[in-house]
């Protein structure tokens, strides 16, 4: 049955869901949730692992790669065998830049949201349940500002080191937290450290998730490494490296769009992200969330959410939110017709998105 929800009805629905959020009802943060709780037992009920491949469960955080010859060929371990199976590693359209941030939300995230808003850019946030329950307001802001939420597990443990039951607990607790706060049941997930193999894939698929990795090592910004012993020199060097990668790609985009990996974790990773966004203009890339780059009108398991498309970044829009009327390189003030066209498209997309299948 098709039901049309007005924006008001959507807000009421989301507010009602949000009212059910109780941070005390979640397991301890940053630990693999126990599998003997009432909730996890309920989630495991009716799930059969009979068709889940039995493969070596690894150790290490993250696990080190053994010699290739020691890994079963059917394991298809992304990080150690460069084997993606059907994971998403690219955006389908050449010249698009799937912008993703992992490990949040954190108290540093709003500064990033301000920059994304100032540049009219939408991203996908792969959120950690442990951070969601401690930063619920930031999560709500991400949704309110048209960003796309996806799962990055509860405790950020490498999934190939966990049992099938523990993987379920990691994903379902995170799913519940985001659902209770926003009303959205997430549909995409990214394994911490990219650590996924055919056993983990089979379990996450049972829970309805689609796996999103990133486009090769070159598009992993390694921004989190900047936090230890941070200096302006290391930051600007990292920005230059990633800018060059984006510009090289933009000059010759080939057959697919790219997906980058950044983190909304530390002030330095936020600053890194802020400096990188304007590079999209120079590299002639169209920045999009994963939902948008995949053209998925139903980016959540319970249907569409108010995901807004990102209009092409305007030349001269490399501001950081503190100067929203910054002049463009050609003297334009950055508020040309593109903005209005973009807003209209956004409004139309939201209206379309509110056509829910009940
Ligand atoms: C779950 O198991 C742990 C030990 O493994 C135990 O301490 C705890 O009481 C158990 N919880 C429930 C709800 O059974
Ligand atoms: C924002 O940009 C302005 C100039 O464009 C600069 O002076 C300011 O330091 C920047 N602020 C941050 C937080 O990056
Ligand atoms: C300046 O840039 C804007 C935005 O792209 C564009 O619409 C306009 O035509 C440009 N003007 C000139 C003189 O190049
Ligand atoms: C800047 O853009 C606004 C909105 O489109 C327009 O009304 C205004 O005239 C522009 N100012 C300049 C100096 O171009
Ligand atoms: Zn992560």
Residue 296 known to be catalytic: no
Each residue of 189-226: pLDDT tens digit?
Answer: 999 999 999 999 999 999 999 999 999 999 999 999 99
Residue 339 has pLDDT above 60, yes or no: no
Which of 317, 322, 327 most suits a substitution to test ligand 2, by most atoms within 8 Å of the C-beta?
A: 322
Distance 20 CA to ligand 1 centre (A): 25
**Token pair 């991203």: residue:** 123
Please check whether residue 100 is in contact with residue 214, taking contact to mean a CB–CB distance below 8 angstroms. Answer: yes
Taking only the tens place, the pLDDT of each residue in 249-263 is 999 999 999 999 999
pLDDT tens string 99-117? 999 999 999 999 999 999 9
Q: Which residues contact 98 (CB under 8 A, 6 or more apart)?
A: 90, 91, 124, 257, 258, 259, 260, 288, 289, 290, 293
Instruction: Give residues with Cβ within 8 angstroms of 311, minimum separation 6.
Output: 120, 338, 339, 341, 342, 345, 346
Say yes or no to pLDDT of 354 above 50: no
| Closest ligand (CA of 335) | 4
- Probe residue for ligand 4, chosen from 327, 335, 339 as the CB with the greatest number of ligand atoms within 8 Å: 335
Q: Which ligand is nearest to the CA of 112?
A: 2
103 given a catalytic annotation:
no
- Protein residue closest via CA to atom 2 of ligand 1: 36
Q: Is the pLDDT of residue 126 over 60?
A: yes
Q: Residue 45 pLDDT > 70, yes or no?
A: yes
Ligand 2 atom nearest the C-alpha of 111 is 13
- Residue 98 φ/ψ, nearest 5 degrees: -75, 110
- Cis bond before residue 219 (omega within 30° of 0): no
Q: What is the pLDDT of residues 61-79, one digit of tens each?
A: 999 999 999 999 899 999 9
Banded model confidence at residue 229, pLDDT cuts 50, 70, 90: confident
- What pLDDT score does 310 carry? 58
> Residue 1: its pLDDT value, please?
41
Domains detected in the chain: 80-317+332-357 (3.20.20.370)
From first CA to last CA, the distance across the chain in angstroms is 6
Q: Where are the alpha helices (DSSP H) in the chain?
A: 7-18, 38-44, 78-81, 109-118, 129-132, 136-144, 164-182, 198-206, 232-251, 267-276, 279-282, 290-293, 337-353
pLDDT recorded at residue 157: 98
207 by Cβ neighbours in 10 Å (0-12 / 13-18 / 19+) ranks as middle
3-state secondary structure of 258: strand
- The closest residue, in CA terms, to atom 7 on ligand 3 is 336
Average pLDDT over residues 314-330: 36
Cβ atoms 80, 71 nearer than 8 A: yes
Q: How confident is the model at residue 48 (pLDDT cuts 50, 70, 90)?
A: very high
pLDDT of residue 346: 40
The whole-model pTM stands at 0.76
């Amino acid at each position: 049955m098709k039901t049309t929800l007005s924006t008001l009805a959507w807000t009421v629905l989301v507010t009602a869901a949000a009212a059910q959020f109780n941070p005390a009802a979640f397991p301890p943060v940053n630990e693999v949730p126990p599998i003997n709780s009432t909730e996890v037992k309920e989630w495991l009920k009716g799930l059969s692992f009979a068709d889940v491949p039995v493969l070596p469960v690894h150790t290490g955080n993250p696990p080190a790669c053994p010699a290739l010859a020691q890994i079963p060929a059917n394991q298809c371990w992304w990080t150690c065998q460069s084997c993606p199976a059907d994971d998403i590693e690219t955006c389908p359209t050449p010249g698009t830049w799937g912008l993703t941030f992992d490990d949040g939300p954190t108290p540093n995230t709003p500064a990033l949201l301000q920059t994304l808003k100032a540049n009219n850019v939408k991203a996908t946030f792969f959120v950690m349940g442990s951070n969601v329950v401690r930063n619920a307001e930031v999560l709500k802001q991400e949704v309110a500002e048209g960003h796309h939420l996806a799962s990055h597990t509860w405790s950020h443990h490498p999934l190939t080191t966990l049992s099938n039951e523990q993987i379920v607990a990691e994903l379902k607790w995170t799913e519940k937290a985001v659902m209770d706060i926003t009303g959205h049941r997430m549909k995409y997930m990214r394994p911490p450290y990219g650590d996924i193999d055919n056993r983990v894939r089979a379990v996450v698929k049972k829970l309805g998730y689609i796996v999103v990795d990133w486009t090769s090592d070159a598009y992993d910004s390694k921004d989190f490494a900047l936090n230890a012993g941070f200096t302006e020199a290391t930051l600007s060097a990292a920005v230059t490296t990633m800018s060059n990668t984006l510009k090289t790609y933009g000059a010759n985009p080939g057959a697919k769009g790219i997906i980058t990996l950044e983190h909304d974790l530390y002030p330095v990773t936020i600053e890194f992200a802020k400096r990188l966004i304007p590079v999209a203009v120079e590299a002639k890339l169209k920045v999009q969330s994963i939902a948008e780059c995949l053209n998925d009108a139903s980016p959540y398991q319970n249907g569409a959410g108010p995901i807004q498309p990102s209009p092409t970044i305007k030349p001269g829009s490399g501001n950081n939110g503190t100067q929203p009327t910054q002049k463009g390189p050609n003297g334009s003030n950055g508020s040309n017709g593109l903005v209005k066209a973009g807003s209209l498209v956004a409004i139309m997309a939201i209206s379309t998105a509110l056509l829910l299948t009940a």
